[in-house]
Structure 1
Amino acid sequence: MSPKQRLVLQAVLYEAFAIAFVTPALSFMFDEPASSTIGLAVLMSSIALGWNYVFNTIFERWEARQSVRGRSLARRLMHGIGFEGGLVAILVPVVSFWLNTSLLSAFMANLGLLVFFFVYAIAFTWLFDRVFGLPESATK
């Protein structure tokens, strides 16, 4: 699989599972029916899909220049922090607008999702690498 195909597959699978997890969580958190929270979940996942591709492209370019190969726990943690940190910066204003609330309120509402997605991003990437192998940036 080419590096671009790998990035696209990783991003699409990541977001498909994310929508399946987030829709009921948003429904519970905001006491709304899933039919209304799926719109926000899809919007958030669509934004995250684009960010996933951009971030992983940048990360793998950086990774390819490193002398130590492989993906240690520290590198996976750095990946998760970088991805989720960037996504928070993008999504908090979106959630604030969608829910018609302050940025602080939107950030606070996202804390549970942030914790979930931090763990999910690391676990998903680890599992994806186990199933599809490490990208060239981590092996050459």
Structure 2
Amino acid sequence: MGAIERIFHAVLFEVLAVSLSIVLMMVFTDHEVSAVSGTMIIIATIAMAWNFVFNWVFDKFFTEDKEKRSIKLRIFHVILFEIGLLVLTIPVMAYILQVSMIEAFIMDVGVTVFITIYAFIFNWVYDNVRASIIKKSINSSPSLT
């Protein structure tokens, strides 16, 4: 996966994640829409940068075809990614929403549980759709024989 596709993957992931996270934060907290939206957009920006860097490094260590990755490896991938993201985002959430680090931790863990499940499903679907598109592209290319 090249840099342009990595950017596409990260942006698609985050647009869907932010939209769904804002809805969940509005359902489960009493913060203003603008505060929640701003917070989730900033966190998404941090997450996009983290997504790019983390997945680039992860792919250097795990080089097999992505669509062939085991469930165990996918779970490891998501957990490791989310732990790193929590470290980066809890202070941001506490500052912007003017809540304690404990409250930010609880809110961020709630979002993280949702995003963890979402990330697992999103990446599995993305990898398989990507593999299918590549396979169709290869099969539809005119042969040079």
TM range (shorter): 0.7 to 0.9
Give the equivalent residue in structure 1 for 2:110. 112
Counting only pairs closer than 5 Å after superposition, residues 1-140 of structure 1 correspond to structure 2 as: 2-64=1-63, 70-133=68-131
**Which has the higher Rg, Structure 1 or Structure 2?**
2
Per-residue deviation, residues 68-120 of structure 1 (Å, max 9, x unmatched): x9310011001101111110110011111112222222111222211101111
CA distance in 2, matches of 1:40, 1:98: 6
Q: For residues 123 and 112 of structure 2, what CA distance do their matches in structure 1 show?
A: 16
Partner Cα distance (2:24, 2:85) in 1: 18
Instruction: Give the whole-Å Cα distance in 2 for the aligned partners of 1:29 and 1:75.
Output: 31
Stretches of 4+ moved more than 4 A in 1?
none
Q: Normalized against structure 1, the TM-score is what?
A: 0.85
Q: In structure 1, how many angstroms separate the alpha carbons of the residues matched to 2:43 and 2:56?
A: 20
Partner of 2:138: none
Inter-partner Cα distance in structure 1 for 2:34 and 2:95:
19
More relative contact order, 1 or 2 (CA 8 Å, 6+ apart): 1
Q: Following TM superposition, by how much is the alpha carbon of 1:33 offset from its aligned partner in structure 2, in angstroms? A: 3.9
Structure 1 vs Structure 2 CA RMSD: 1.8
- By how many angstroms is 1:54 displaced? 0.5
Distance 1:126 1:71 in 2: 9
Could you tell me which runs of 5 or more consecutive residues in structure 1 were left unpaired when the two chains were aligned: 135-140
Count of equivalent residues: 130
TM-score (norm 2): 0.82
Structure 2: tracts of 5 or more residues without a match: 133-145
